[in-house]
Structure 1
Amino acid sequence: MTREEKSQVIKDLTAQLTDTSTVYIADIAGLDAGATSNLRRACYKANVKLSVVKNTLLAKAMEATEKDFGDLPSILKGNTSILISETGNAPAKVIKEFRKKSEKPILKGAFIDEAIFVGDEYLEALSNIKSKEEVIGDIIGLLQSPAKNVVSALKSGGGKLAGILKTLSEKEG
């Protein structure tokens, strides 16, 4: 690879790292061509971009961004792939699902919204992180709950003022 090619790869990686808030670093060494193809397909379906990268180029790209990747450059040894996604838990779910059939990929580390995770032991926790949409859905559900209680109380009282007051007083107690 020429210097110009390396420089271009670093620019591209820097742009990708700058534009996303979710980056997973994994080791997929040892997967045969068929398994690698299946992993790429699973990533594509989950809207996760998978790229195999050179450690030195990724380290330089991390350095070139304004983000603090903490200890992540220190784990760039051996075979390295990056998984980039808009959703914080999507790459973890893909890795976890894929590992039901294979020992790889192994999670080396992750950068999610400024938080840094180093080590495969975080895979389970990362796959359980709720996405922004899931959190918004939970909040909307919580906000709708009191309104539903009032409506059901009004309906169950039969429309009579005494029944409504009695039902509401029971709900508060």
Structure 2
Amino acid sequence: MTREEKSKVIDDLTAQLADNSNIYLADISGLDAGTTSNLRRACYKANVSLAVVKNTLLSKAMESSDKDFGNLPEVLKGNTSIMFSETGNGPAKVIKEFRKKAEKPLLKGAFIEEAIFVGDEMLDTLVSIKSKEEVIGDIIGLLQSPAKNVVSALKSGGGKIAGILKTLSEKEG
């Protein structure tokens, strides 16, 4: 690879790092071609982008990025694949599901909306992260609940009030 080609790859990786707020680093070394193809298919179905990258080029892209990757560059050893996703837990779910049939991919680390996770033991934590849309949905559900209770109380209470008023008016008459 020439110096110009390396520079272009670093620029492309830097742009991808800037455009994505959910970045996973995984080790898929040792997977045969068929298994790797199945992993790529699983990623595609989950809207997860998967690419194998050179550690030195990714490290330089991380350095030139505006984001603070903390100690994430330290995990760039051995074979590294990078995964991008719109949802914070998308790649974690793909990895966890895929590991039911294979030993890899292993999670090296992740950058999720400014938070940094390092190590394969963080996989379950990452799977349980809710997406922005899920959190907004939960909040809307919580906000709607008291309003629904008030409306239903007024509806059921309205009949009681009318009944009480009717009874009172009959007594006076």
Q: Would you call these one fold, judging by a TM-score over 0.5?
A: yes
The letter for the 2-side match of 1:59 is S
Unmatched segments (≥5 aa) in structure 2:
165-173
Give the 5 Å matches for 1:1-173: 1-157=1-157, 159-161=159-161
**Following the alignment from structure 1 to structure 2, what is the Cα–Cα distance between the partners of residues 101 and 153?**
52
- The one-character-per-residue Cα deviations of 1:104-155 (angstroms, maximum 9, x if unpaired) are 0000000111111110000000000000010000001001101111122123
The letter for the 2-side match of 1:86 is E
The letter for the 1-side match of 2:117 is F
Shift of 1:162: 6.9
Pairwise CA RMSD: 1.4
**Rg (Cα) greater in structure:** 2
TM-score normalised over the length of structure 1:
0.91
Deviates more, 1:52-61 or 1:37-46: 37-46
**Following the alignment from structure 2 to structure 1, what is the Cα–Cα distance between the partners of residues 140 and 163?**
29
**Following the alignment from structure 1 to structure 2, what is the Cα–Cα distance between the partners of residues 52 and 110?**
15
**Following the alignment from structure 1 to structure 2, what is the Cα–Cα distance between the partners of residues 16 and 158?**
59
Judging changes above 3 Å, is the alpha-carbon distance between structure 1 residues 4 and 148 closer, same or farther for their aligned structure 2 residues? Answer: same
Q: Check the 8 A contact 1:157/1:163 in 2, yes or no.
A: no
**Following the alignment from structure 1 to structure 2, what is the Cα–Cα distance between the partners of residues 8 and 79?**
21
**Following the alignment from structure 1 to structure 2, what is the Cα–Cα distance between the partners of residues 9 and 145?**
51
Shift of 1:157: 2.7
Q: How many residues align?
A: 164
**Following the alignment from structure 1 to structure 2, what is the Cα–Cα distance between the partners of residues 29 and 102?**
12
The letter for the 1-side match of 2:27 is D
- The one-character-per-residue Cα deviations of 1:30-85 (angstroms, maximum 9, x if unpaired) are 11111111111111111110000000000000001011111111110000000011
**Moved segments of 4+, more than 6 Å:** none
Aligned partner of residue 159 in structure 2, secondary structure: coil
Judging changes above 3 Å, is the alpha-carbon distance between structure 1 residues 158 and 135 closer, same or farther for their aligned structure 2 residues? Answer: same
Identity level (%): 82
**Following the alignment from structure 1 to structure 2, what is the Cα–Cα distance between the partners of residues 163 and 12?**
73
Q: Check the 8 A contact 1:89/1:129 in 2, yes or no.
A: yes
Counterpart of 1:169 in structure 2 is: none
**Following the alignment from structure 1 to structure 2, what is the Cα–Cα distance between the partners of residues 75 and 160?**
67
